[in-house]
Every structure is written in C-alpha cells, then in structure tokens.
Structure 1
Amino acid sequence: MPTASSLGLTERQAVILTVGFYMVTALIMVSCNKWALNTIELPWMLLWCQMLIAVLLLKVTDYTGMLKMPEIKTDVAKALIPLISINVLGLGVNTLCLVYVDTSFYQIARGLVLPFTVIFAYVLLGQPSSSLVLAACFTVFCGFYTGVTSEINVSSLGIIFGVVSSITTSLHAIVIKKSLGAVNNSSIDLVFYNNVLSLIVTTPIVFLSGEIGLVSELFDTEGFQAFHSFLAAALVTGIFGFLVNLAGFMQISKTSPTTHMVSGAVRGVLQTLLGYFAFNDIITGGRLMGIVLIISGGALYTYAKDKEMQANAKPTYIPMTQQDVDSDHEERNEVGKA
C-alpha cells in the first residue's frame, strides 16, 4: 500500500485525507443503502451482494499486488466463528434498521453503542470506567431516550433493530481485539476472512428469507428494468461498502482512537443534514435534541479518554543541551560517591 512519503504528502496531510476519505465513503454508503432499500426492499439479498463484491474487490487487490490476501485455513476459520456470527448479525440488523427508519433518525436508533461498549468492557474485560466516562454514557442515553420518545410515527421495529445493532457493534469491537491473534495481528487478513466467511454464512439466510423468490417475481412482473435497478443498487452499495472497510482500516492505522470517534461524531451531524436535504427527512425538535445529546456524549467520552491517555503517559527526560548532559553526569557521580 502506498505511503504518505511515496505520494509526496506530509503526515498531517495524509491524516486529513484519510479522515476525509472515511467520512465521505461512510456517508455515501448510508445514502446508497437507503436509496437501494427505497428502490427494492431486499435487505438480505442486498447485503449478500455487497459482501460478494467486497470479496471480489479484495481478490483484485491481491491479484494486482496492492494487498496480499491470505489462504483460508480451517483452524483460523474456526477461531473466528464468534467474530463472523457477530458481524453477520450486526450487518443484518443495521440494514433492517435502515429499512424502517429515516436516515436522520438512524443515528438515534443506533445511539446506544457507547453505553453498551462501556458495559461490555466492564463485564467481559474487567475494565472499569471513570465518572466522566459514565457521565458521557448517561448523556448519550438521555439523547436516545429524548429522540425515541419525541417521535410519534417512528417504527418500533426500527428502534428494536437499532438497539440490537448497538449491542452487536459494541461486541464487535471487543471480539475484533480477541480475533486479531488468530491472524497474527494482521488487520488485512482479518478483513478478508471476515468478508469471505460472512458471505458463506449469509448465503443460506438469503434463501431462507425468501428473497430469491421475490427477485424472480420482480423480474417477471417488471422485467429487465427492475432487474437492472437491483443490479445497479447492489453494485454501487457493494463498491462503497468495500471502500468503507478500506477507509476504516486506513483511518484506524493512521490516526488515534480519539480521532476516529471525533470523525464519527462529525459524520453523524453530516448524516442528519444529508437525510434532511437528500431524503426530505423531517427534523423535529425532539429528534434534533436527541442527536445533539448523543454527539455531546460522544465528545465528552472522547475528552475523558484523552485525559486518561495523558495521565497514563509516562514522561521521559531527554537532555537537550550540553549543560543538561553535564548536570546529569554530576548527579550520577554524587550518587556513586554516596
């Protein structure tokens, strides 16, 4: 993969471009998914096509030498069963949530990611949280509660899928940390295994959902036009799904977790504006207040974690002048005489 120096970019420029690439692709991905589901409501079939296209594009990067993909090994695949299970369930409920709620309400429906992450980190990993982190979680919960209770026509099923999506997203982050050891800590290998195995697991779900029959009926009743619309939706969302995976990997490798969370908060604001202007979503006062509280809670969490990182950092003394060096030698000589 090209480096910042090989492209003639400074490290700062590389970080800005990486974060920008992630935010743009993530926004386009949500928009494309919503457009595709508004056009043809086949969530599992659409998800399967996205995974297939992602696998094909990963193989293209392997063939062209841009990235090296691993060979699938049975023992590694068995070790990744928890990750694949959480991933497939998470992608499924994410897509189904987007079927039932507006683009601008999507962030509220999935707003409990942070509280669940903190809870699972304590229950599963034994990691306690500071009072400031707990305050951030409470702020996010208030935002979720405000946004949900202020809506009259919002789908209860969409909210349920959003809550389950928050749970799977929280567990996904924890499971990824434990799964990296199975692939020698290679993020690219994990991305490839994740997409290939998720594609295999999703295949029977597509048949069981009955969406294959719906595709046939759609083709019979509306002809090639509907089939072309479905293929276009699958292709566009598949390509941008692949780019989101790549952009997320690039951002995490180029920036800190704090930057990753800040960009996610900014993306939430832009996503709300996108829903308003592109899909004519109605932004009620309660919905706006819920989004503000969720983003504020995320910002408070980012601030709290940043303070923790600074507190845990061990400062190292580095002599800067010859006087500092001489002083250091004198101190050591005094200790030696004592």
Structure 2
Amino acid sequence: MTLQQPLLEPIREKSLTSKYIEITLVVALYWIVSISMVFINKHILSDKSVNFDAPLFITFYQCLCTIIFCLICNCIGHLRPSWIHWLGFPKLHLRPAVIRKVFPLSIVFVGMITMNNLCLKYVGVAFYFVGRSLTTVFNVILTYFILKEITSIKAILCCIIIIIGFIIGVDQESLQGSLTITGIFFGIAASFFVSLNSIFTKSVLPAVDGNIWLLNFYNNVNALILFTILITINGELPVIYGYQNLTSLQFWSMMTLSGLLAVSIGFVTGLQIKVTSPLTHNISGTAKACAQTVLACIWYHEEKSFIWWFSNLLVIFGSAAYTRVKQLEMSLKHSLKRQPSEP
C-alpha cells in the first residue's frame, strides 16, 4: 500500500486539476457569452450609429437564428450522430399536437424575450441587472398563486432586501437623470415573464420528452409566428423596409452575432450547471451581473454615487442569500424524505 500510494497521488492530483480547469473554462465561457450578448444587444437596440427602431424584428431574427442552428444540428445528427451526441440533441420533429401543447409557454416565452430586449433598449447596461432584479420576488408570488406553495420567512426576507435595493436603485437612477418610466415598466414586466416562463416550462417539458433542445425548437417556431403578427401590428414593417443599412454586411453581421449568442447562452448555461451545480450557477450568474455592471460603467464612462452602488450590493446580496436559503431548504426536504426509509 505504501509503495503504491505515491503512484496514485499524481493521478488524483491531475484529475482534480483537470476538473478545476474545466470548471474555470466553462464559467469563463458563460461570463463571456452572457456579457457579450448584453452589450451587443444594447448596441443594436439603442445605439445612434445603428439607428434601427425595430426591437421586435431584432428579437424575431434571434429566434430565426436559433431555428437555423437547430436544423443544422439535426442534419449533422443524421450524417454524423457522434458529433452532436455529447450535446444531447434529439431528432427534430414538428407535430401539431406538440405545437398546441407548447403554444401557451411560447406566448410567455415571446413576452419574456421581448420585455428583456425592450428593457435593455430603454435602460443602461449598468442598471440592467437591478432593473430586472424582481424575478426572484415574482417567483415567490407566482409560486404561491399558481403552484400553491408557501415560501419560508427567510426567503421572504431575502425578497424584501431585493425590493429595497430595487427601490433605492430606481431612486438613484432617477436623480442622475438616466431613468425612464418605460424602461422600469419593461424591467418589471421582464422579471414577471422570466418567472412565469420557469414555472410554465416545468409543466410543458413532458410534451417534448423532457428535452430542453426540442422545447427550445418548438418555442422558437411558435415565436416566429407570433412575432410576425406583432411586427405587423406594431408597424415595424415600414421601418424595416425603409432602413438605410438594410443591405449592409456590417449590420447583418452584428444581427447574426447577436442571434448566435442568443443560441449559445442556453447551451453554456446548461453546461455550467452540468459541470458545477444549480447553486454554483446562480452564484456565478450573480457575480457575472456584478462584473457586467462594473464593465458597463467603465465602457460607457458612467459615474455612479455610493448609494447607487449600495443598491446594487443589496440586490446581489438578497439574490445570493435567497439562492442559498432555497438550496438549504431543498437539502432538508430531501433528507426528511429519506429518513423514514432508513433503519
């Protein structure tokens, strides 16, 4: 045993080192994709150099990119199954019965991505995290009214901290003159739809055999239909046809990059959860939001007050604390379920 032990140690160390490197690379990839998507979307949605006032069409194009990506993966799966097997990508199909079952979720999905983009259009990147920070609060409210589940006092206290941070942040943004009521409305609406989407997703997943990729495909197919109607109603067609850079390669390159990042964020999110854990993913997302806020202030040369930063810290602390409280509650519930079966 003593002779073999030194031989085993390097193997364990190498395995542990490889695991740490893998986790670091995946987390870094998640940060890069997520932050890049926010900055590029902000540029397309509201930068004066782009000057393209058609947010619904931009979101429509992102959904189209997702469908094209899924179709390419499906073709590769038929020709070289081993190439995409590690992605867990299924064989695609379009069944009317499944479309009908997924359609209610697709309406919520369209509301979510539309409100996210409209919020980003009307608020700065630095305030984007706080502007959409009420998702956790809506999770508690909708869980109670839809799923009839009661939230613990500790979790509610975390939500109160988030609400206080949100109110202070709105007040500080207003004092600096960079706040719009429209942006706040879309931020609150985005939080509501994100929360509603997570609840609806759980109930619809069985319709696609629990496969997220297939659900994503159906969601985006339905979204194309819905966005076509919404674009027409919203009067964006004349804006699109009359856009001076409609044939510009640079414009479509940015649009396509935005679409690819929208596809990638779902993949890297799942990958991060796979190599770490749901709790670590949430902590990483909170830390990423903090880094994103700092980067936005540097990139856009924005100076914020101490109280403004304090509001961000309150939201970050409340969100992280809520995640930890829910994780502990789930662990306790799991241990209590196992207890009766133990001798």
User: TM-score range, shorter-chain basis?
Assistant: 0.7 to 0.9
Counterpart amino acid of residue 50 in structure 1: Q
Match of 2:201 among 173, 176, 189: 176
Contact 2:136 2:319 in 1 (8 A): yes
Separation (CA, whole Å) in 2 of partners of 1:69 and 1:289: 49
3-state SS, counterpart of residue 185 of structure 1: coil
Separation (CA, whole Å) in 2 of partners of 1:35 and 1:240: 14
Counterpart amino acid of residue 19 in structure 1: V
Q: Over the residues paired in the alignment, what is the CA RMSD in angstroms?
A: 2.2
Q: Deviations over 1:247-290 (max 9, x none)?
A: 12323444432122111101110110121122333423332122
Counterpart amino acid of residue 296 in structure 2: G
Match of 1:33 among 41, 66, 86: 41
Contact 1:105 1:287 in 2 (8 A): no
Q: Corresponding residue for 1:18?
A: 26
Match of 1:89 among 111, 134, 150: 111
CA apart distance, 1:9: 9.1
CA apart distance, 1:113: 0.6
TM (normalized to structure 1)?
0.84
Aligned residue-pair number: 307
Contact 2:130 2:312 in 1 (8 A): yes
Q: Corresponding residue for 1:49?
A: 61
Separation (CA, whole Å) in 1 of partners of 2:20 and 2:224: 37
Structure having the higher Rg: 1
Is 2:311 aligned against 1:290? yes
Closer/same/farther in 2, CA of residues 74 and 104 from structure 1, 3 Å limit: same
Structure 2 counterparts to residues 122-271 of structure 1, below 5 A = 122-152=144-174, 153=177, 154-219=179-244, 224=247, 227-271=248-292
Contact 1:51 1:195 in 2 (8 A): yes
Counterpart amino acid of residue 28 in structure 2: G
Q: Corresponding residue for 1:115?
A: 137
Q: Percent identity?
A: 27
CA apart distance, 1:304: 0.9
Separation (CA, whole Å) in 1 of partners of 2:272 and 2:226: 28
Closer/same/farther in 2, CA of residues 12 and 189 from structure 1, 3 Å limit: farther
Separation (CA, whole Å) in 2 of partners of 1:13 and 1:190: 31
Structure 2 counterparts to residues 303-318 of structure 1, below 5 A = 303-314=324-335
Contact 2:173 2:308 in 1 (8 A): yes
Counterpart amino acid of residue 236 in structure 1: L
The runs of 5 or more residues in structure 1 that have no matched partner are 1-7, 318-331, 333-338
Separation (CA, whole Å) in 2 of partners of 1:41 and 1:279: 21
Contact 2:103 2:219 in 1 (8 A): no
Closer/same/farther in 2, CA of residues 223 and 96 from structure 1, 3 Å limit: closer
Separation (CA, whole Å) in 2 of partners of 1:89 and 1:9: 43
Closer/same/farther in 2, CA of residues 144 and 58 from structure 1, 3 Å limit: same
Q: Deviations over 1:10-34 (max 9, x none)?
A: 5554444333322221111001101
Is 2:106 aligned against 1:105? no
Separation (CA, whole Å) in 1 of partners of 2:229 and 2:288: 34
Separation (CA, whole Å) in 1 of partners of 2:207 and 2:148: 22
Counterpart amino acid of residue 243 in structure 2: L
Separation (CA, whole Å) in 1 of partners of 2:269 and 2:73: 17
